[in-house]
Amino acid sequence: MRPSRLPRHCRASGDPASPLARAGSPGRHGRPRGAIWLALALLVVAAPSLARTIVASAAPDRVAVTIYRDPNRPADRAPNLSFLSGYALVSETRRITLPAGESEIRFEGVAEGILPQSAIISGLGDGVIERNRDAYLLSPGTLIERSLGHRVHLRRTMAATGEVREEEAVIRSGADGALVLQTAAGIEALRCSGLNETIVYDEVPPGLSARPTLSVRARADAPLTATVTLSYLASGFDWRADYVAHVSEDGEAVDLFAWLTLANTDTTSFPDADTQAVAGRLNRADRRVPPAEARPINLDCWPADTTSDLPEEQRQDIVVTGSRIAAERAYAMAPPPPPPPAAPDAAMVATQEELGDVKLYRIPEPVTIAANSQKQVAFLARPRVAVRFVYRQTVAPVARGAPAPARRVMVARNRTADGLGVPLPAGSLVLFDGRGGRPILVGAGTIDDHAVGEDVEIGLGAATGVTSMLRVVGAGKRDRDFELVVTNDRPVPVHFEASLAGGEVRGASARLSRRDGMPLWTVTIPANGRATLTYSLPPLS
C-alpha cells in the first residue's frame, strides 16, 4: 500500500530502483536534474487524470482461496493441467489508507483470471463510486496509441559510425501498421528508413498497467485507514479427489486413503492462503471476461527463437538381453521384493463441512497455492473398508467369434457399518495389492460423487482370465436360443454377474434376478472351471 501522486513507475519513494531516488545520478543524456523536476511538476499540473490520488495496494495481507471443480468435466477425466476450466473464489483483506477526497485504489496482485463482474468490495462503507477493471495493458503498441499527439524522442543509431542521434518528434498516427511521425524535417514513417531507429518516451501515459488491474474509485471525507475485503471469482483452477486403496490381507477389505488434488494455472501465487475445496454441482452462467489488450508493434523480437527451439532427436537404442525371465519356471529366484509401502501417513488432514447442498473441504492450516502448481493434501484415511470384487459383464445378443474379457469391479456400500459412511467426491482410484510381497497396481478406475448410503462401484479394468463367449444355438419363429459359457483360468472360484440385454429372457437354465431393469445371472465359477447358461430371447421383430 503506497499512496502516491504519480504513476507507479516514477514514484519518488525510497525505491532504490527509481532513478529519481539516486542522488546525483547523471541523466543518460546529461540533462540537469532540475529540469526533470520541472518536467514532472508540469506533468502533474497538465495531466487531468491525476486530480485524484492513486492508492496502490501491492498485495493482500491475508487471502483465502476456495476452489470449485469444472462443472463440465466428467468424473472420469483428470483436470488438464495446461487448461483448467474450474474456478476459485478468492477473498483477500488489505489495509488501505485513503487521503481525504477522491482517490483511486488499485488492487494489484489479484488473479489474472479474475471475473471482474463478480468482485465484492467491502470495508469502504458507501465511499465506493465505481469499480474498474483496466485491461488496456502497457505494451509497445498501447504506448504509441496513448502517445498520439505527444512529443517523443526519435533515437537513431548510425550503423557505420555507431553515433547516436536524438531528435524530437510528435506521433501523428496510431499503432496499426506504420507509425507516422512529425519531425523537424517534416513527416516521416518510423522504420521505413532502413536505419536503426526507435522511439523514446518521457513517461508512461496514464491508465496503462503492466497486468490487468482492478481499481476502485472511492471518496473519503477525512483520511482513513480501512481494512478492505475483496472477493472475486477467478478462472484457471480445478480440483478432484485421488483415492489410494490397498487390499487387506484377507482380500475382503481395503485401506482407503484420499488426497484433495488442487491445481492452479494462474500466474498469481497465493502465499499462506486459507484453502478450501467445494464438491457438488453448482450452476454457472457463461460470463466471458473481455481479454486484456496488449498490442505488440509489428516487431516481435524478444523473446526470439533461441537454442531451446531445436527439436529433440527421436532416437532409440535397442538392447537385446539374452537373459531369460523365469527361465525353467525359476521365478522363486527373483530378487527379494522391497517391503510393501503402507498407506501414506497424513500429518495434515482436510476436514469436511456441510455448506448448503455442497460439501466443503477445509485445509486446517494456511498453505501456498503457487502459480502453475498442483497441491495435494489428505482428506480421508479409513482402514478396513469392506469391499467385494466381482466380475461383471453386460451381454448383448450379438454373435461373436471370440471370448470377451469380463470387467473387474470393486463394490462397496458407503455406510459406517462397512467402514466408510462419508461423502466421496469424484476422482480417480488406484488399487494396490501387496499380498504377493511387493505392491502391485491391480486396478485403476474413476468414481463419481457418492453420497453416504450409496452403493459405490468402481470398474478396475478388464480381466484376462475370466472370459465369456456367447453362441447362438437355435433360432425359431418364437425365440432365439443362446448359450453363454464363462471360463475361469484362476485357481480360485470367482463371483461372476452377467446382465442379459436384448429383451425378456425366457427358459433360462438358472434362476435369474434383476438389476437396473435387466435380468441378472449371478454365478460362482469354480476354480479353473467354467459355467454355462442357456436362455432364450424373443425374435427380432
Partner 1 sequence: MRLVFIASAAAIALAAPAAAQIETEIPPPSETAQGEVSVTIYNNDLALVQDTRRLDVSAGRSRQEFPDVSAQIRPETVTLTGDGIGIVEQNFDFDLLSPQALMQKAVGETVTLVRTNPATGAQTRERARVLAANGGVVLQIGERIEVLRDDGLPVRVIFDRVPAGLRARPTLSVTVESQRGGRRPLTLTYLTPGLGWSADYVALFDEANGRMDVQGWVTLTNNSGTPYNNAEVLLVAGSVGGDRGGARSYGARRAAPGVIREAGTESADRERLGDYYLYPLPERTTIANRQTKQVSFLSVAGAPARRAYEYRNAWLHSADDPESVDTVLRFSSSRDQGLGDALPAGTVRVYQRDARGNPQFVGESPIDHTPMGSDIGLTTGQAFDVKVQPTVERRERVSSGRWRTTMRYVLTNASGEPVTVDLVQGGLWGDTRIVEQSQPSERRSADEAVWHVAVPANGEASLTATFDTRF
Residue 438 binds partner 1 (CB under 8 A): yes
113 vs 445 by CB, closer to partner 1: 445
209 vs 235 by CB, closer to partner 1: 209
Site for partner 1 in 190-209 (CB under 8 A): 196-204, 208-209
Q: In whole angstroms, what is the distance from residue 215 CA to residue 218 CA? A: 10
Residue 28 binds partner 1 (CB under 8 A): yes
49 vs 394 by CB, closer to partner 1: 394
Q: Is 390 exposed, middle or buried (0-12, 13-18, 19+ CB in 10 A)?
A: middle
Shortest reach from residue 426's CB to partner 1, in Å? 13
Whether 367 and 275 have beta carbons less than 8 Å apart is answered as yes
Q: Among residues 126, 249, 286, 300, which is the contact residue for partner 1, using CB under 8 A?
A: 300
Residue 274 binds partner 1 (CB under 8 A): no
Residue 315 binds partner 1 (CB under 8 A): yes
Q: How many residues bind partner 1 (CB under 8 A)?
A: 163
Residue 229 binds partner 1 (CB under 8 A): no
Residue 343 binds partner 1 (CB under 8 A): yes
Q: Among residues 2, 388, 415, 471, which is the contact residue for partner 1, using CB under 8 A?
A: 471
Shortest reach from residue 527's CB to partner 1, in Å? 8
Cell 486530480, located at residue: 51
Residue 541 binds partner 1 (CB under 8 A): no
C-alpha cell at 63: 487471502
Whether 197 and 155 have beta carbons less than 8 Å apart is answered as yes
Shortest reach from residue 12's CB to partner 1, in Å? 11
CA 403 to chain centre: 41
Residue 512 binds partner 1 (CB under 8 A): no
Residue 406 binds partner 1 (CB under 8 A): yes
Shortest reach from residue 129's CB to partner 1, in Å? 27
DSSP lists the bridge partners of residue 492 as: none
Shortest reach from residue 535's CB to partner 1, in Å? 14
Q: In whole angstroms, what is the distance from residue 79 CA to residue 60 CA? A: 28
DSSP lists the bridge partners of residue 222 as: none
Site for partner 1 in 43-102 (CB under 8 A): 76, 78, 81
Whether 220 and 237 have beta carbons less than 8 Å apart is answered as no
Q: What is the dihedral of CA 207, 210, 212, 218, to 10 degrees?
A: -40
Range in contact with partner 1 (rule: CB under 8 A) among 126-134, 215-223, 320-328, 352-360: 320-328
Q: In whole angstroms, what is the distance from residue 98 CA to residue 349 CA? A: 41
Q: To 5 degrees, how large is the angle CA 466–CA 500–CA 456?
A: 70
Alpha helices in 21-146 (DSSP H): 33-46, 140-146
